[in-house]
Amino acid sequence: MRFRFFLRLVQRSLANRIGKWLTAVLAVAMGASMVSAALTLAVGMRAKMSQTLRAYGANILLVPAAGPGRAQGTPGGEQLFANMPDSLLARLGEVSRGLPLVGYAPLLYAMAEIGSHRVALVGTWPDAMRQVNPGWRVEGGWIKGRDEAEEAVLGTSVAQKLGLTVGAPLTLSVQGRTRSFRVVGILSTGGSEDEQVLLTLHAAQELAGRAGQLSLIQVSALATDRPTEDVTRALEAALPGVVARTQLRLVMAEERLLARLSLLLGLMAGLVLVASGLGVAATMTTSVLERTRDIGLMKALGAGRTRVGRLFLAEAGAIGLAGGLAGAGAGVLLAQAIARSVFGAAVPLTPSPVLVSIGMGVVIASLASLIPVRRATSIEPGVVLRGE
Amino acid sequence: MLPRLLWKSVRGRKSRIVLASGAVAVAATLASALLSVALDIGEKVAKELRAFGANIVVVPKQDALEVEIGGLRYATAAQAAYLAESDLPKLKTIFWGYNIVAFAPFLSAPVEIGDGRALLVGTWFEREVPLPREPRRFTFSTGNVRVVQSEEASFRTGLKAIAPWWSVDGRWVEDAANEAMVGSALANRLGLGRGDRVSLRAGQTTREFQIAGIVRTGGPEEDQIFVDLAAAQAFLGLPGKVDRVQVSALVKPDDALAIRGKRSPQGLPPEEYERWYCSPYIDAITYQIEEAIPGAKAKAVRQVAEAEGAFLGRLTLTMTLVTAVAMAAAGLGVMATMTTTVLERRQEIGLMKAIGAEPRQIARQFLLEAGLCGLLGGLVGAGAGLALARLIATQVFQAPIVPNLVAVPFVMGLALLVTLLGAALPTRQAVRLDPVVTLRGR
């Protein structure tokens, strides 16, 4: 009975002052939405940024356990790298499903001749190569599929020095085997690829007379949930006769950068949390201060301190809950909108930002109203009623 | 009359004015801190991204085809071209010399080791390069002359600066003439360890080096041997020569002008050419390097440049959006607070009107009060925000933020605007009402 009366009191108080309560709810919602948006971004950004950083290229190399053969570095040496069988690719395909891989591309290196010039030749899966190395700049087109036997892409330096352009015919020979190709694109990377000729894996294997063989596999792995070293170890364990090398250049720089970014976003979210909390507190305090006279009147009519306090606390709680709920939802939508416009994809939804922002709304709104209410109830009703 | 009224009102309602100013200050702090961080973050992160390695490679211009795999040149000495080591300090004398944060020269050739072969690489591990102090003048065809002067007398660079990810078991080379570092894969294969002596042969000459450390990078370096550049030059009989220089430069992501400039710098109209030349685009820097070093070809490492551009673009966009949203929310919050403060005083407005105050007088007093809150809160908040941004930057990047003076007036102006707007709307409404209605209460 008393509880129902209490509920009615709260309800009446809210209904009579609907304009002001709406302002308060709005203020809480604003704060909560900022908190939930900032936290959602702080949690989701790491994965997105890690994905962006994969544009730096392969961060794991799979090489034969025997290591690049002894002839490594030999001018004119035929066997540049030791071989591994391309049957590994099927096994890697199975293993990769359980790992956070962006992609992987097999490579076969060989030495070839174009007329009287010697040039390094690379066979690969063209589509996978682009996936692993999205930062490359290509003029013209790219080799269309893994079975294109006659298309070739030239490194920009090779093209310049030999005076070849897109569409030009190209004749490559390796130890007397000769094949003709057509230049479909010119690749410029600023790296070794500028000096190389790129073919499909199959065409290169056939031309080099090394059917079923590979020199190395480039792997691009995301560093989101598990460290890259873990992925490296998993790959090594799953593929016999293979050494997996983590590219320290990329992995260490990435870890450092992502750690700093997480710290930055965390600090920003913290800042937003504090500022929003203070804003909510200010609004609630103002709205209670305004009702000092009401409190005096209640006390004059015989209400005890606890009852008045409880009433105001319940009101503040209701405001906090309503504002927190609305704000948390709005904040998540806001974070999604930002993520969509920046990364073109949504960030994953996590419950913690929503809970934190609702919690902030309720706790801060209640606390902020409790302090002025306590002050008001401790004063003689007469003093309060007479005015400030 | 008005100042006295204002003074009285402020004194009588001290706690509320403080509360309103406080609300403004908190919002302004948030806005100013986020704005300062957002304005400076690009530069800070660009520096961080340099940890991903060199973004420019300088090689000698040559006509012969090179055979190159994984950064290794399989070229014979006879056909190779070289750059002069003495030209290297010129890298810091280009227009954007300040943005060259590190560089390291390399001279490599295959040598015989044990019963096999490996690539010997000579480099600067750590070197102090003297810089010319005299100002450099750049004259443009528009008639403008720009003068650049380096502030420091010397520049510390080398492999340690450009490849901070190298993990060395043992120590780096200290005794330049007699020590070497060996890649871990090569060391494993040959059974070499720290402190061992290794004998290398190139052509007819043989030299012994003591192994100071074993290098692990995950890259092709693991199959190579590293010695000081001078030792490699003497050993290979190529005094004063280098065959490639890796350069790490701070660059600005490409935009429309950068793309037009890349196609043909000389084809740009004079004003655009000057703007292009004086912007740290990667292609402008490679262009300037080729101008400065005779016989050099400077190549942008596309993958690094593009990844950097994409990352920076996304980061700054995120920060800008977050800042904009936070500022909008903070602004609305302040407006709500101001509205509440005025609404609360409707009876007072009624009373003022009842005793004959003009609506304009009332509005003026209320707006002045609001403006006072806005200015006070804005000033305190803008300052606090800068301090907070500095703190954040020091925490995250170990370097303080450059205080951006645009942020202070901007935030203060915004605070003033928002408080005035927040106060103006309810005042207008209250002033219009009949005093009897407002006086009777809600």
Q: What is the pLDDT of residues A300-340, one digit of tens each?
A: 888 888 888 888 888 888 888 999 999 999 999 988 888 88
What is the distance in angstroms between the Cα of B142 and the nearest Cα belonging to chain A? 33
Nearest to A67 among B72, B74, B189 (CB): B189
pLDDT in tens, A244-296: 888 888 888 888 888 888 888 888 888 887 877 787 777 777 777 777 777 88
Domain boundary residue, one of A216, A246, A276: A246
User: Looking at the domain assignment, is residue A158 inside a domain?
Assistant: yes
Which domain, by its residues, includes A294?
2-51+257-386
Same domain, A93 and A17: no
Distance of alpha carbon A288 from alpha carbon A374, whole angstroms: 10
Q: Please tell me the predicted confidence (pLDDT) of residue A304.
A: 81
Q: What total of structural domains would you count in chain A?
A: 2
Rounded to an integer, what distance in angstroms lies between the CA atom of residue A386 and that of residue B13? Answer: 16
CA of A195 to nearest chain B CA: how many angstroms apart? 6
pLDDT for the residue A75:
40
Give the integer Cα–Cα distance in Å for B23 and A276.
10
For A23, name the nearest residue in chain B, comparing CA atoms only: B336
Strand B83-84 and strand B241-242: the pairing is antiparallel
In a domain? residue A30: yes
Query: Residue B299 is inside which H or E element, if any?
Result: strand B296-300
Residue A87 sits in the same domain as residue A148: yes
What distance, in Å, lies between the first and last C-alpha atoms of chain A? 36
Residue A374 CA to residue A305 CA, distance in Å, equals: 8
Q: Do A150 and A269 share a structural domain?
A: no
Q: How far apart are CA A285 and CA A19, in angstroms?
A: 17
Distance CA B243, CA B59 (A): 6
User: Under an 8 A CB cutoff, do A73 and B301 touch?
Assistant: no
Domain match, A182 and A327 both: no
* Contact list, A343 vs chain B (CB under 8 Å): 314
Within this chain, do residues A211 and A302 fall inside the same structural domain, yes or no? no
pLDDT on residue A82: 67
Structure tokens, A185: 């694109």
| B76: closest chain A residue by CA | A75
Taking one residue from A and the other from B, the number of pairs with CB-CB distance under 8 angstroms is 269
Closest CA to B371 of B30, B19, B17, B28: B17
| pLDDT surpassing 70 at residue B2 | no
Partners of A267 on chain B (C-beta within 8 Å) are 392, 395-396
Q: Residue A170 forms beta bridges with which residues?
A: A181
Co-location of A119 and A227 in the same domain: yes
Instruction: State whether A190 and B34 contact (CB < 8 Å).
Output: no
CB contact under 8 A, A260 and B397: yes
The pLDDT value recorded for residue A167 is: 92
In this structure, the answer to whether residues A95 and A206 fall within a common structural domain is: yes
A238/A313 same-domain check:
no
User: Left, alpha or beta for A57 (phi > 0: left; psi -120 to 50: alpha)?
Assistant: left
Give the residue from chain A lying closest to B339, CA to CA. Answer: A23
Phi-psi region of A289 (alpha: psi -120 to 50; beta: other; left: phi over 0): alpha
According to DSSP, the residues that pair with B248 across neighbouring strands are B102
Residue A14 has which token pair? 């809210």
Pair (A375, A269) in one structural domain: yes
Asked if the structure places residue A194 within a domain, the reply is yes
A284, closest residue in chain B (CA to CA): B337
Residue A340 lies in a domain: yes
Residues of B in Cβ contact (< 8 Å) with A30: 329, 332-333, 336
Confidence of residue A79 (pLDDT cuts 50, 70, 90): very low
Average pLDDT, chain A: 83
What count of Cα atoms within 13 Å lies in the side-chain half-sphere of residue B29?
A: 23
Whole-angstrom distance, CA of residue A139 vs CA of residue B329: 46
pLDDT higher at A225 or A157: A157
Chain-chain contact of B303 with A190 (C-beta, under 8 angstroms): yes
Residue A251 is assigned to a structural domain of this protein = no
Q: What is the pLDDT of residue B229?
A: 95
Residue A190 and residue B305: Cβ atoms within 8 Å? yes
Q: For chain A, say whether B388 makes contact (Cβ under 8 Å).
A: yes
Residues of chain A neighbouring B305 (CB-CB closer than 8 A)? 135, 190
Domain stop point among A196, A215, A246: A246
Answer for the pair B248, B54: CB distance below 8 angstroms, yes or no.
yes
> B368 versus B10: which is more confidently predicted?
B368
Positive or negative CA dihedral for A231, A235, A238, A242?
negative
Residue B115 pLDDT class (50, 70, 90 cuts) = confident
Most confident of A27-31, A156-160, A255-259, B68-72: A156-160
Reported confidence tier of residue A74, pLDDT bands at 50, 70, 90 = very low
Read off the amino acid at residue B20.
A
| A99 occurs within a structural domain | yes
- Give the pLDDT confidence of A114-143 residue by residue, as tens digits: 888 888 899 999 999 999 998 888 999 999
ipTM of the complex: 0.78
Angle at A292 between CA A290 and CA A295, to 5 degrees: 130
User: Is B58:B247 a contact under the CB 8 Å cutoff?
Assistant: yes
Nearest CA in chain A to B73: A73
Is residue A298 one of the residues assigned to a domain? yes
Q: Are A14 and A318 in contact (CB under 8 A)?
A: yes
pLDDT in tens, B180-211: 999 998 898 888 889 999 999 988 889 999 99
Structure confidence at residue A122 (pLDDT): 93
User: Which residue out of B45, B226, B396 would a mutagenesis test of the A interface target, given it has the greatest number of A Cβ atoms within 10 Å?
Assistant: B396
Which 3 state secondary structure label does DSSP give B239? coil
Cβ–Cβ below 8 Å for B299 and A190: yes
pLDDT for position A66: 65
- As given in the structure block, the two tokens for residue A296 are 């005096």
Sequence-distant (≥ 6) Cβ neighbours of residue A130 within 8 angstroms? A136, A142
CA–CA distance, A287 with A318 (Å, rounded to integer): 14
Contact status, residue B183 vs residue B225, Cβ threshold 8 Å: yes
Checking if the pLDDT of A83 tops 90, the result is no
Q: Which of A195, A213, A246 is the last residue of a domain?
A: A246
Distance between CA atoms of residues A206 and B194, nearest Å: 43
Q: How confident is the model at residue B442 (pLDDT cuts 50, 70, 90)?
A: very low
d(CA B258, CA B277): 10
Instruction: Give CA B228 to chain center in angstroms.
Output: 31
Which pTM value belongs to this model? 0.79
Same domain, A161 and A211: yes
**Contact of A283 with A96, CB cutoff 8 Å:** no
pLDDT 10s digits, A3-56: 787 788 777 777 777 777 787 788 788 888 888 888 888 888 778 888 888 888
Q: Three-state SS for B171?
A: coil
Chain B residues with beta carbon closer than 8 angstroms to that of A74: 74, 110, 117
Whether residues A228 and A338 fall in one domain: no
Pick the most confident of A270-284, B328-342, B416-430.
Answer: B416-430
Looking at the fold, whether A87 and A209 belong to one and the same domain comes out as yes
- Cα separation of A58 and B65, whole Å? 26
Over residues B225-271, the pLDDT tens digits come to 999 999 999 999 999 999 899 999 998 888 888 888 887 888 888 88
Using a CB-CB cut-off of 8 Å, the residues of chain B touching A187 are: none
